Amino acid sequence: MKKDFINLDQVSLSFERQQVLQDVNLTLEQGVSYALIGKSGSGKTTILNLIAGFLKPDKGTVSINGVKVLKPRKETAFLFQELGLFPWQTVEEAVAMPLQLSGRKQEIDSGVETLLRKLGLEKHRNKYPQELSGGEQQRVALARTLISEPDIILMDEPTSALDATTKEELQSLIREEQQKRQATLLFVTHDVEEAVILGQNILILKENGTISQLENPYYFTEQAREQLGFYEECIKLRQLIKVENNI
């Protein structure tokens, strides 16, 4: 049985007098994958930043495993939409950076080698970001996210800039790695198909701050995109988003 792991209790946050989140309540279970969708500007990325400890709520609490989040924790990994790859770092250096910063230098050789091989980056280890395709850059950022064996993985639009084929490959990698590690995955997406592929549960954030949660019947279904029911589920979800947000 899964246990409650991440909890947002009556969380509110404003930026420059503009209310972004108001009285948000959310509980995420350990080892489960969640897709967070909703209108632009509804506060989805803000929720990621609160869980990561990059922001503090004006009101309410954010806790992980019963401990209040007051600052970033080393067990939480964040894959940013902008990727944040430094132009002066090679692929190998970028992936190793989290271990370097946390003082776990003895784990670098074996850990980096394993991930480079698994994500198909071995032959690119000495290349710089500008020498890589968009999909390869995304894989490097994913490897850097996973290297420290996080128990929480936060992702903001993880495949938004990729072509369809590369996007599907990366989605498969994300799903496999989350399952293998049994980490809690929360990712923001505007892609309904991606939500149905990657989210065991789908969260719809409404403009009033309430969150609807749906169980996804097509999570981890083999070759889901080849089934008519998958697209019917996507259509239902799009319609629900419109109804929930009164679009």
User: pLDDT confidence of 19, banded at 50, 70, 90?
Assistant: confident
Smallest Cα–Cα separation from 152: which of 46, 11, 55, 53? 53
Which residues contact residue 223 at a Cβ distance below 8 angstroms, ignoring those fewer than 6 apart? none
Identify residue 143 by its one-letter amino acid code: A
* Run of H or E including 51: helix 44-52
Q: How large is the average pLDDT for residues 196-220?
A: 89
Residue 247 has pLDDT above 60, yes or no: no
Residue 175 has pLDDT above 50, yes or no: yes
Place of tokens 């972004």: 20
> Measured at the alpha carbon of residue 143, what is the angle toward residues 139 and 146, in degrees to the nearest 5?
135
Which pLDDT belongs to residue 163? 84
Which pLDDT belongs to residue 67? 95
Domain 1-48+151-247 fold is Rossmann fold (3.40.50)
Task: Convert the pLDDT of each residue in 98-130 to its tens digit.
Answer: 887 776 666 666 778 888 888 889 999 999 999
pTM: 0.89
Place of tokens 């990727």: 83
Give the bridge partners for 59, in sequence order: 12
Task: Convert the pLDDT of each residue in 62-82 to its tens digit.
Answer: 999 999 999 999 899 998 877
DSSP labels, 196-233: HHH-SEEEEE-TTS-EEEEE-TTTT-TTGGGSHHHHHH
* 22-31, 50-59, 62-71, 233-242, range with the lowest pLDDT: 233-242
First to last CA, the chain: 37
Whole-number average pLDDT of the chain? 88
